[in-house]
Amino acid sequence: MRRAAFAVIAALAVSSAGWGATTLRGALAVDAVDGVSVGDVRLAPAAIESEAARLARQRPRRLPAALRMAADRAIERLWLEGEAAARGLRLDPRAARSPRTLLRGAVADALAGAEPERDARRFVHAFDSFHARWRSRTRCAIAYHDPYADRCANIAAARAGKCRWMGEATLCTLAIDRRARWLIVQDAPFAGRSWPAAKGLSSSAAARLRQARNEGDSLVVRLRSRARAAELVLAVYASARTIRQRASRKARRAQAVAAAARAAAARREASARERTARRRDPNLSEPALAAARAACARQVAESDPYTFGFGTQDVVGGAEGLIAARTALARRLGDVARDVHDRRRLRPLRYAVVAGNRQLARLAAASAAGDDQAVARLLARFDARTEPERAQARRVDLGDCLVRPAR
């Protein structure tokens, strides 16, 4: 009887070792009548045997068990994928590190429902129904049938017992073990995280978890009561589900932080590109250009009373009026800049305006001194001396906006 129980444990330990890197890609074959079929999907014997040979590592004595393990892995994968597709599950890649864990967790959570901890019997029934539903669609050749996993509808389960996947653990019914009628089995690495965190257990159930024995690569609890077994397997599942949810929330927070960091970096890069483009662009920004043109027009209007007949009468008053209008223009050009690049582009024009004002001041000084020859000479040279300010105005697309006095 002990051997029968250990046979169940050994079978589970082998079959729950995890999906390898090879997941029977390319194994679909519609003409595989003597392999494994799940609904309309058939797995060719050649693909199963190839995976089994890899698992057996070319050791003939291990090949029969490897055949059952390879087929069982493929069947489990098809069951989980089929259930996920039927329920329209959208798998969150942040919730697990491996496809197997991700798929198992998503399907288990869907089967268990929103609040599984309220009814252990309903929880067990949900997974029993899942097994029965997909077992009825599965057909296997005898060489690929695992009698304890009991996945093939065309072949009877083992008389010694049968096992059902319950999310984070496997619940087995034993028919001939007098010491225990129920076994709970889980991979030791996963149990090491989920079993100690199980909450809401009776003191005896918690003690049974603490006393769980290692059998190969699995942790095993033996129980006589079905209700106790249901309570325990639900507690282990709920604990693991909480761990998964925390990991998923942590991953989402990390992803949100990373996304925010990427967005900030993208904004910085875009801003840097924009600054580089503005630095290389010789033109004023559109708002600055419009405001500068308005300032030029205002300067023309303010200068108009002093331009006609300039130099023939009241040269001092005319020069002072023009200087006032041009000084106001230089000040306004300093105000219209929207950024450092606008200020840098307008600076040469403002300096040129100040230099032109000095020429007008010399005219006023010569006129005040009564030196008509100096006034005539300065007027003749005025256009040549003030050409830089007009060139700077054209450079920033303001045209010849600066007024030139005419005699």
For the beta sheet containing 138-140, the strands, ordered from the edge strand earlier in sequence to the opposite edge, are 41-43, 36-38, 138-140
Cα-based angle 288, 292, 298 (whole degrees, multiple of 5): 150
CA 391 to CA 162: how far, in whole Å?
96
Q: Where are the alpha helices (DSSP H) in 16-98?
A: 45-56, 63-87
Question: 329 and 353 in contact (C-beta within 8 Å)?
Answer: yes
Place of tokens 């662009």: 281
Question: 203 and 159 in contact (C-beta within 8 Å)?
Answer: no
- Per 3-state DSSP, what percentage of the chain is helix, strand, and coil (rounded to 5)? 65, 10, 30
Q: What's the gap between Cα 80 and its chain centre?
A: 26
- DSSP of 385-401, one letter per residue? HTHHHHHHHHHTT--S-
Q: Quick check: helix, strand or coil at residue 348?
A: helix
- At 185, list the tokens: 């089995």
- Cβ contacts of residue 364 below 8 Å, gap of 6+? 315, 316, 319, 320, 323
Per-residue burial over 173-196, b = 16 or more CB atoms within 10 Å of its CB, e = otherwise: bbeebeebbbbbbbbbebbeebbe
Kindly list the domain boundaries of the chain, sorted by start residue: 2-255, 286-395
Nearest to 291 by CA among 332, 253, 328: 332
Nearest to 335 by CA among 287, 400, 280: 287
Nearest to 234 by CA among 130, 126, 123: 123
The pLDDT value given to residue 11: 47
The pLDDT value given to residue 13: 42
The pLDDT value given to residue 96: 56
The pLDDT value given to residue 22: 39
Give me the residues of the chain with pLDDT under 50, please. Answer: 1-33
Residue 48 to residues 134, 230, 331, 353: CA-CA distances in angstroms? 20, 34, 86, 89
- Threshold 0.75, pTM exceeds: no
Nearest to 115 by CA among 234, 226, 199, 203: 234
Place of tokens 């010694």: 160
Q: Quick check: helix, strand or coil at residue 43?
A: strand
- At 129, list the tokens: 């129904």
Return the beta strands (E) in 134-206 as ranges.
138-140, 161-165, 170-174, 182-187
The pLDDT value given to residue 108: 92
Q: How far apart are the first and last CA of the chain?
A: 127
The pLDDT value given to residue 198: 75
- At 254, list the tokens: 């990390």
The pLDDT value given to residue 95: 56
> Which sign does the torsion angle of CA 195, 201, 203, 205 carry?
negative
The pLDDT value given to residue 14: 42
Residues in the chain: 407
